[in-house]
Structure 1
């Protein structure tokens, strides 16, 4: 768990070191431990303002970012919990619009760790409980909460009666956890993923989704039917198109909304529209069309097709555009490739050894002018040969950028959110 131990604050680092010693006991799945821990803390998850709970393989973090921006554009105060962090753990918990402070974070983690010593909790159970405590102790108008892996057994899934539930893109990722053999689960991989994500659906809470292949849609429909939850799927109950603007429509009417300013790509239009659908199909919080539009224009979400600013790292690129994306699975690879369609670019990639090295490279294959491979600091990474005979090694991102020929082509750095965090830190673009 060394990748979680990131803080310049000694008091936070002491608690992160304690967290690093935790692991999920082999073979233990379920919500019993997080429920027991939460009960000891007074069940803070039951004292939160209206909750927007989002799951998905890709796009859930961006959807949460759009939701927060739209709610804040309405003048509301918003708690937000997203994951993973890129540079500092504090990025995971935003209280009433501001990142949690070091002293507050250290105090919360210490409290939860001390309370849970005999329960044997996991890293994620402790940090989720700390997030619930933080949100319950300070007032706000709404909460936006992203799931971690899956949904059914995610620690956030002890939430009750969300104002709205969103399910973003579905794809194959984290196979060892989400596709592990279990009696009574769907045999088809994508249907199983949908089954796991649909596990966050709660009785009576409206559910908004994108459109999926038939076997995946069936699992979402089944979960909604079993809980009596209103289901609103793209293509059936709401839809969106984009030609210069986002044209959104549902049973409430139509909206013309601006394209995202800082998050390029067709997939981001879908994520923005999913956030709009969630707000329009619930009745706990009122958000105007004008606030939705302002929110879309203002949303930022680092390391998702982010165009890096001039900084200590990008100066090695000699004036060319440098893009950063933490995508590392096939669905993310296809979204990246769609953005760079009909363009030539240089790809610098670093990918964890437990990820498919073809996920990003294969969709981009026809666009890649030069492919360089770097290691992901502190992680087991794929070597250059895993990416094919054209791949070459570079010791660092700086070296890879300096190696580029003087052709002016843009650069994409991709393959890992851990690598993305190192890039942002090196370029003095720390998320805030």
Structure 2
């Protein structure tokens, strides 16, 4: 699975190009290459602060953001490794709260790529080694690792003893690597479970929960499922959380969508099912208001692309790119966007994604779909996507770029850029604000 990454910094761009000449068998998943690469650079994974390891199909990035906000609200220094980035490569690595600087990123990439000449590790494996090196050389109180793909064979899964693991919502995505059924997906995600380590999970259909429970039992993990050992729900404008330690009423997160409240609840549960790092109750409430996660139902209030829209329009962006994410966003639209402002979807999709399944939840909600390419990536053509949308009863027009789509609208609309994190990143790069 080719990951296309570019950088505006010439040195970083050259290093990314250098890695592309090294990589062999880019579709090979497994821990052999990342283990060998980390061994070659001194096993930095052995020198990380306490680790929060998060997997899931949707919501794992938001869960990581809530974890970081709560830990920082408690006065802790936090490293974070997340993916993909939206605009700048540096977004993937946050050292004690700050994005890695270009100079340090370049120096560490040089070191890792020197060690990678004979190994041929993938770019994500190189990213992981760079992050672990950066984290091992700077003091912090906690380290958050977001799984890149799956869990069992993901490069981040070389960590042997995380403090706590979590699994967010599950859905079908990356079927070529993770399987065609939710049971297979669940087994891959549950592969991050470790002996003696809490594995905190959401509510899933019974067969999927049973599969996760089996894997947790087999490896000796401490399974902490929602609905049994902890509970959360939205009632009377509050996030109501309860576990063995007691109950808390928290403000709803600033990130829109009921599903974000459940992502926040998972982060709370992960923090409360460990005892090494003390988190005061006030930090949980602060995290609900502090957490930011760009391109997750983010409303943009200005910028050059926004200015091209008819007066009275709104501009939103969400990086969702699979049917389960689309259903969550469509449900939010039905509940919250109840005025007469028409919803126009600016849609793009990689070839590897289920474009029909991602469009389907918007039938009867979106008044029109403007289809777009994804520059530099193997994507479905705008014309192909427009035909697909039309066949589903969604009026559609192909457009050549984000700017041409903005100017194609003659009347005020609520515009939602959706279907690809790459396109979401392109929007933020052209319009702002840049993720920080």
What TM-score comes out, normalization by structure 2 length?
A: 0.94
**Aligned residue number for residue 202 of structure 1:** 194
Comparing 387-396 with 31-40, which one deviates more in the overlay?
387-396
Q: Deviations over 1:350-380 (max 9, x none)?
A: 1112211123321111111111101111123
Residue among 230, 238, 241 paired with 1:248 = 241
Question: Does the CA contact (< 8 Å) of 1:312 and 1:427 recur in 2?
Answer: yes
Q: Secondary structure at the match of 1:223?
A: helix
**Aligned residue number for residue 183 of structure 1:** none
Looking at structure 2, the residues matched to 56 and 202 of structure 1 have their Cα atoms a distance apart, in angstroms, of 16
Looking at structure 1, the residues matched to 50 and 117 of structure 2 have their Cα atoms a distance apart, in angstroms, of 31
Looking at structure 1, the residues matched to 263 and 105 of structure 2 have their Cα atoms a distance apart, in angstroms, of 30
The Cα of 1:3 is off from its aligned counterpart by: 5.7
Superposition map of 1:162-181 within 5 A? 162-179=162-179
Runs of 4+ aligned residues of structure 1 deviating over 4 Å after TM superposition are: none
Superposition map of 1:10-29 within 5 A? 10-23=10-23, 25=25, 28-29=28-29
Asked whether 1:338 is paired with 2:331, we answer yes
The Cα of 1:80 is off from its aligned counterpart by: 0.3
Residue among 172, 186, 192 paired with 2:184 = 192
Asked whether 1:53 is paired with 2:58, we answer no
Residue among 316, 325, 332 paired with 1:323 = 316
The Cα of 1:26 is off from its aligned counterpart by: 6.5
**Aligned residue number for residue 268 of structure 2:** 276
Q: Deviations over 1:130-166 (max 9, x none)?
A: 1110000100000011011100000010102111101
Q: Secondary structure at the match of 2:182?
A: helix
Q: Deviations over 1:68-110 (max 9, x none)?
A: 0110001110000000001111000000100000010011111
**Aligned residue number for residue 400 of structure 1:** 405
Q: Deviations over 1:11-68 (max 9, x none)?
A: 1111111123344516743211111111121211011111000000010000000000
Question: Does the CA contact (< 8 Å) of 1:346 and 1:412 recur in 2?
Answer: yes
Equivalences, count:
422
Residue among 410, 414, 421 paired with 2:414 = 410
Q: Deviations over 1:294-326 (max 9, x none)?
A: 011110001111111211111112331111001
**Aligned residue number for residue 109 of structure 1:** 109
Asked whether 1:257 is paired with 2:250, we answer yes
Question: Does the CA contact (< 8 Å) of 1:4 and 1:16 recur in 2?
Answer: no
**Aligned residue number for residue 387 of structure 1:** 389
Question: Which structure 1 segments of 5+ residues have no match?
Answer: 180-187
RMSD value over aligned CA atoms?
Answer: 1.5
Looking at structure 1, the residues matched to 52 and 294 of structure 2 have their Cα atoms a distance apart, in angstroms, of 21
Question: Does the CA contact (< 8 Å) of 2:80 and 2:145 recur in 1?
Answer: yes
Comparing 339-348 with 90-99, which one deviates more in the overlay?
339-348
Asked whether 1:428 is paired with 2:403, we answer no
Looking at structure 1, the residues matched to 67 and 27 of structure 2 have their Cα atoms a distance apart, in angstroms, of 35
**Aligned residue number for residue 43 of structure 2:** 43
Comparing 342-351 with 44-53, which one deviates more in the overlay?
342-351
Superposition map of 1:199-238 within 5 A? 199-238=191-230
**Aligned residue number for residue 145 of structure 2:** 145
Looking at structure 2, the residues matched to 192 and 273 of structure 1 have their Cα atoms a distance apart, in angstroms, of 25
Looking at structure 2, the residues matched to 113 and 354 of structure 1 have their Cα atoms a distance apart, in angstroms, of 28
The Cα of 1:223 is off from its aligned counterpart by: 1.5
Looking at structure 1, the residues matched to 27 and 417 of structure 2 have their Cα atoms a distance apart, in angstroms, of 36
Looking at structure 2, the residues matched to 27 and 93 of structure 1 have their Cα atoms a distance apart, in angstroms, of 23
Question: Which structure 2 segments of 5+ residues have no match?
Answer: none
Comparing 165-174 with 3-12, which one deviates more in the overlay?
3-12
Q: Secondary structure at the match of 1:352?
A: coil
Question: Does the CA contact (< 8 Å) of 1:163 and 1:283 recur in 2?
Answer: no
Question: Does the CA contact (< 8 Å) of 1:112 and 1:129 recur in 2?
Answer: yes
Comparing 320-329 with 388-397, which one deviates more in the overlay?
388-397
Looking at structure 1, the residues matched to 319 and 282 of structure 2 have their Cα atoms a distance apart, in angstroms, of 31
